[in-house]
Amino acid sequence: MSEEPEAPFLEIPEDDSESTEPSEETADQPESEEPAQAKPKRRPPWRRRRRAPAPEPEPEPEPEPQSEAEYTAEPEPAPRLILEPEPEPEEPEPEPQPDPPIVAGRDLRKRYGSGNAAVNALNGVTLSLPAGSFTAIMGPSGSGKSTLMHLLAGLDAPTEGEVWLGPTRLSDLDEGERTRIRRGRVGFVLQSFNLLGMLTAEQNIVLPLRIAGREVDAQWLNWLLHAVGMHNLRGRRPGELSGGEQQRVSLARALIGKPAVLFADEPTGNLDSHNTDIILTMLRRACQDLGQTIVIVTHDPQVASHADQIVFLEDGRITRVASLSET
Ligand SMILES: Nc1ncnc2c1ncn2[C@@H]1O[C@H](COP(=O)(O)OP(=O)(O)OP(=O)(O)O)[C@@H](O)[C@H]1O
Ligand SMILES: [Mg+2]
């Protein structure tokens, strides 16, 4: 199945202005033919002079030559009769708007289960992330980090509240449309890596493009395999890889489609400090060089310190947002 890449949403407002043709002024036609004598051009009523009831007709001016061209020629402009279209009232210049956030959540609530067994994983979270920003979400286990990430990525729907991905409100879409938007614009690394056991590392990485019917950019694939240190292990299956190696494969898979937004849940959770550095450097470059927006969940303050801002969650609420980009 082939799928077109996501086209930008562009609404073209309907032009409802009516094109009013100005009515064509026509030359007055002579009322009757007087073949014997050349008749002067008949003046329009507002130009006719009243004649005194003198018996002697005033000497007529020299008759102008009458030709066919004269009748078809444009008459002198008659300001009161020409129906000029009213000039359109000038539209006020639109105020310059700040760039809309690439990801936004408004009053997000998520309840799992019902009755006594209900768990309120999120209790009203509002945040917006500008394009090209790098955000880390931190908080104790069970505070709602993964839940928030799943909602923002469109993997799950909130019980209440709204999620916006660029100009699109995800709750306005059905499941099929949400999937299409996700494939085109979002990459994610889940806490469980979700690699397919029968495919090699490389086949797992390019899988999202194969599913979407998109071309694989061989150069980009090569760059990613080197960046995550998996170029020598590209032919291995997940069962033949360590947890950290599987994690790096899933990160490369999330970036293969050059998504506008990358969500990564504990992307360095199983990595030693050397590999953690490699991954963080890569994420920073994706953010700075490619303008990608990155959202990671982490328990590691060292990892979070690479972000522009840290969002702290507790009991399903944001307790603090620390900006690191200005320090
Ligand atoms: N599918 C589910 N059904 C019921 N409860 C759930 C479900 N998923 C998560 N929860 C509950 O929602 C709360 C938030 O879970 P979440 O996975 O978002 O936490 P987290 O902050 O990511 O934790 P961790 O750091 O351990 O990954 C927890 O109390 C969890 O038990
Ligand atoms: Mg989690």
- If DSSP states are collapsed to H, E and C, what string results for 113-144? CCHHHCEEEEEEEEEEECCCCEEEEECCCCCC
Ligand 1 environment, Cβ below 6 A: 112-113, 119, 121, 139, 141-147
Give the closest residue (by CA) to ligand 1 atom 29: 142
Confidence of residue 16 (pLDDT cuts 50, 70, 90): very low
Residue 130 has pLDDT above 60, yes or no: yes
Ligand whose nearest atom lies closest to the CA of 313: 1
Neighbours of 151 (CB within 10 A): 25
Q: Which two tokens stand for residue 308?
A: 């522009």
CA of 265 from ligand 2 middle (Å) equals 7
Q: Which long-range contacts (CB under 8 A, 24 or more apart) does 2-7 make?
A: 2/213, 3/180, 3/183, 3/212, 3/213, 3/214, 5/184, 5/214, 6/180, 6/181, 6/184, 6/185
- The helix/strand/coil state of 25 is coil
- Looking at residue 99, its pLDDT comes to 60
Q: Which two tokens stand for residue 312?
A: 């702290």
Confidence of residue 97 (pLDDT cuts 50, 70, 90): low
Q: What is the pLDDT of residues 292-325, one digit of tens each?
A: 899 999 999 999 999 999 999 999 999 999 998 7
- Looking at residue 79, its pLDDT comes to 55
Give the closest residue (by CA) to ligand 1 atom 28: 142
Nearest to 103 by CA among 163, 161, 172, 182: 163
Question: Which atom of ligand 1 is least distant from the CA of 313?
Answer: 21
Phi then psi for residue 130, to 5 deg, are -70, 155
CA of 37 from ligand 2 middle (Å) equals 104
The overall longest dimension of the chain from CA atoms, in Å, is 122
Give the closest residue (by CA) to ligand 1 atom 24: 141
Residue 142 has pLDDT above 90, yes or no: yes
- Residues 243/270, Cβ–Cβ less than 8 Å: yes
- Looking at residue 83, its pLDDT comes to 57
Tell the residue number behind the tokens 């995800």, with chain if given. Answer: 170
Distance CA 95, CA 58 (A): 67
CA of 313 from ligand 1 middle (Å) equals 12
CA of 144 from ligand 1 middle (Å) equals 6
- Residues 255/234, Cβ–Cβ less than 8 Å: no
Neighbours of 227 (CB within 10 A): 20
